[in-house]
Amino acid sequence: MKIKLVKNTDCLRIYEINCDNSIVGTEYASVLEDASKRVNIEGFRKGAVPLDVIETRMGEKIIEIVSDNLERKIVQKIIEDEGGISKIAHIGKSKPLAKYTKDSIKMSIEIEINPEVPAIKYEKIKLDLPKLELSDADLDKEVEKVLSNFATPKRIDDPNIAIQNRHIAVINFVGRIDDKIVESACANNFSIEIGSRNLIPGFEDQMVGMKSGESKTIKVTFPKDYHAKDMAGKDAEFDINVLSINEKILPDLNEEFLGQFGLKSVEEFRSRISQDIDKMYENQIKRYAKVKVEEHLRDKYSDFPIPKVFLESEISRLKPILEKNNQELPEKTRKSAKDIEKECEKKAIENICMSFIYRSIITSEKIEISKEDVEAAIMNDAMMYGKDYEKIIKMYSENPNMRNFVESRLQEDRAFDYMFGKISITRKPLNLEKMKIEIDKLFSSLKKE
């Protein structure tokens, strides 16, 4: 058997294989002998069919089986020569170079191999990132916020007490735009915590000072990015009637309350909150950093060869998305079909290169995800769905592909942690208030880009 590499371009390998009589004849005889024991031919006892009869009746089929058997052996040999199955991206179907016979089989096989990822100079990736420094005063406020989630509302019966921040007001309101009542902007017995900023800007502020039983008309403007497009950016009036005012009674930090969290002391409780806040902001910083690092990698390291089979698949996935997004743009700003194709190919190449970069880190650093890690991530995802979390967990348990996706996501997160530890980072300490502002700025800058 002669295996010859006739084309070696980027990720593509084309091999030509020549199997002469010594190889084909031996395999042919073996397949023929096996067939004689298995086939049923009328007039002959099973297992006693003469070989010449089988050859006459099934000659073409025998040769097909022989070529398939030899192809499997050839592919296995090529895989070994290329360095193992992990090096292979795609194995194409063989093509005959001449008519297959019982004496000679000549074929070609196309194989695409995974690329070698270039060495990344992580020290060239420089980021300026904020670092939270939580003061005792900030922590006091955050502790109070946590306690307020467990607070019990108590009605204020004194008619002279006016609404203040942190009060919970129960109101009826009617909203109007251009003097017309908007049904979706009306509600009865609506509870709102003043200062929560859950209503449109200015609404809660103008309720401060109102008393139980009092009515008032306020003027506000809906945000330009308001979810209801027919109301976005418009001026409105609301007739408000205060039904009652409630104050929030915070729970005592006693043994019973702390026991709900498996804690024994106030110090542990404060420490847990501090850790959770720090973790939350660090996760946001990492999300931002990941975008910036990937931008750098896409710009500097997405020019290595990639397998055509992956490129075609990614283009097929991206193209309908980009076309749909393009159609949603104003007609004058839409891109041409040619520009969409160029953008699609560019993004596809970048995405695949990023995938190989992550894969190379996962392999080199031997990043493995335990079953317990996957289960914890699934539970975390499921809890976001509230009362339906058990259905979500069942869905994951019955769908291996979904579990594999979670595992891949965790591997990528760990791979980024590796990169994050290698890049050049300058950290600027900020208090909680400034950190919130800085986080908003960072993510706003990503949207503009």
Give the CATH number of the domain where residue 413 resides: 1.10.3120
In a domain, 31, yes or no: yes
- Write out pLDDT tens, residues 385-428: 655 667 777 888 888 898 899 999 999 999 999 999 999 999 99
* Predicted local confidence at residue 273, as pLDDT: 93
Distance CA 286, CA 131 (A): 11
CA 45 to chain CA centroid, Å, is: 61
Residue 296 has what pLDDT? 94
What pLDDT is stored for residue 148 in this prediction? Answer: 86
Task: Write out the residue range of the structural domain in which residue 185 sits.
Answer: 152-249
Q: In terms of domains, do 231 and 367 share one?
A: no
Predicted local confidence at residue 446, as pLDDT: 86
Confidence (pLDDT) at 42: 74
Same domain, 239 and 262: no
Give me the CATH number covering residue 194: 3.10.50.40
Domain boundary among 226, 249, 272: 249
- Which residue, of 84, 113, 142, is where some domain finishes? 113
How far, in Å, CA of 389 to CA of 177, rounded?
40
pLDDT of 385: 64
Same domain as 106, residue 45: yes
pLDDT at 388: 64
Residue 88: the pLDDT is 95
Same domain, 187 and 293: no
Same domain, 101 and 236: no
Instruction: For residues 406 and 374, give the distance between their C-alpha atoms in angstroms, rounded to a whole number.
Output: 7
The pLDDT of residue 449: 58
Residues of the chain with pLDDT under 70: 384-389, 447-449
Q: Could you tell me which residues come within 8 angstroms of residue 21 by beta carbon, excluding any fewer than 6 positions away?
A: 103, 104
Is 158 found in the same domain as 260? no
Check which CATH number belongs to the domain holding 60 and give it: 3.30.70.1050
Claim to verify: residue 209 and residue 232 sit in the same structural domain: yes
